[in-house]
Amino acid sequence: MQPADLDLIILTLNEELNLEYCLRSVQGLPKNIFVVDSGSTDKTVEIAERYGAVVVTHEFITQAEQFNWALDNLPLKSQWILRLDADEVLLPELRDEIAATLPGIRSDVTGLYLKRRMMFLGRWIRHGGYYPTWILRLFRKGKARSEQAELNEHIVLLEGTSERLKNDFVDHDHEGLASWTNKHEGYASRHARFLNGLKNGHDDTFIQPQIFGPQAHRKRWLVQNVYGPAPLFGRAFLYFAYRYFFRLGFLDGVPGLIFHYLHGCWYMFYTDAKVYEQRTKQNI
């Protein structure tokens, strides 16, 4: 395979258990691989360099700021940019589809949405409203930025149109449940600040809520108009019931039960506890 006119950006911090899978999955596709590391103390940098990546160290603030810094400061030379997390891999079908699509794509198309497949405890989570999830990850240089959100930040196009590719990339974290819960404990404080901001009419994200818009815009509308106004704590149980029963999450087996409960109930309940704590401190 001839490399595509494509540069890959990966943000890392202590990703030795995941990074090699990611880099192996893209072999032969990008012209250049850039790893922006925020101070790893494991073998992340060694693994990245072994696969020919250019490693740049930069202090981490948020995912959005780190990625926008990368766009502004890395020596990106290709026409297209692909952004992956270290725990994500391209399926061979998607890698081949990207290589075949980019050379002949229309000039007005500046972004390509990719379809994410979530793996959890070895199981593909196909239900509960979790698949397919369409995410803008591939775009022309200079035509997109990350919105300045603390959590669940989206890459948004500055101009042009977008299309969808058919095949999947896979989110498969190899670090286990302890790492998953630790990460989500950290996410909860940021998520709570976002929800409290919505309550006060503060939303500086680029993704505008639209009930009939693209997937990310619909989700933002539901958060702002349905989930956000719902009662604290009770909404976590309602959301889990919606995912697990109405959206058929029970069809994902035991891993699905664990995932939908942890992500759809435990995490959302813990986030509400953080919401309550922040409101109490600030008398919101």
Question: Three-class SS of residue 79?
Answer: coil
pLDDT at position 207, please?
Answer: 66
pLDDT at position 74, please?
Answer: 98
The per-residue pLDDT for range 87-101, each reduced to its tens digit, is 999 999 999 999 999
153 versus 233: the higher-pLDDT residue is 233
Mean local confidence (pLDDT), 153-173? 96
pLDDT at position 178, please?
Answer: 95
Whether 8 has a pLDDT exceeding 70, the answer reads: yes
Whether 122 has a pLDDT exceeding 60, the answer reads: yes
112 versus 224: the higher-pLDDT residue is 112
Q: Provide the β-strand partners of residue 144.
A: 157
d(CA 250, CA 88): 25
pLDDT at position 284, please?
Answer: 52
Residues in CB range of 54: below 8 A, 6 or more apart:
32, 33, 34, 35, 74
User: How does the average pLDDT of the chain come out, rounded?
Assistant: 93
Q: Cα-atom radius of gyration of the chain, to the nearest Å?
A: 19
- What pTM was computed for the model? 0.92
Contact 52, 80 (CB under 8 A): no
| CATH number listed for the domain at residues 6-171 | 3.90.550.10
- Domain boundaries in the chain? 6-171, 177-282
Written as one letter, the residue type at 110 is T
The per-residue pLDDT for range 189-234, each reduced to its tens digit, is 999 998 887 777 655 566 677 777 777 778 878 788 888 889 999 9
The per-residue pLDDT for range 52-73, each reduced to its tens digit, is 999 999 999 999 999 999 999 9
Contact 55, 37 (CB under 8 A): yes
- Phi–psi pair at 164, nearest 5 degrees: -115, 140
Residues in CB range of 257: below 8 A, 6 or more apart:
244, 249, 250
Contact 166, 101 (CB under 8 A): no
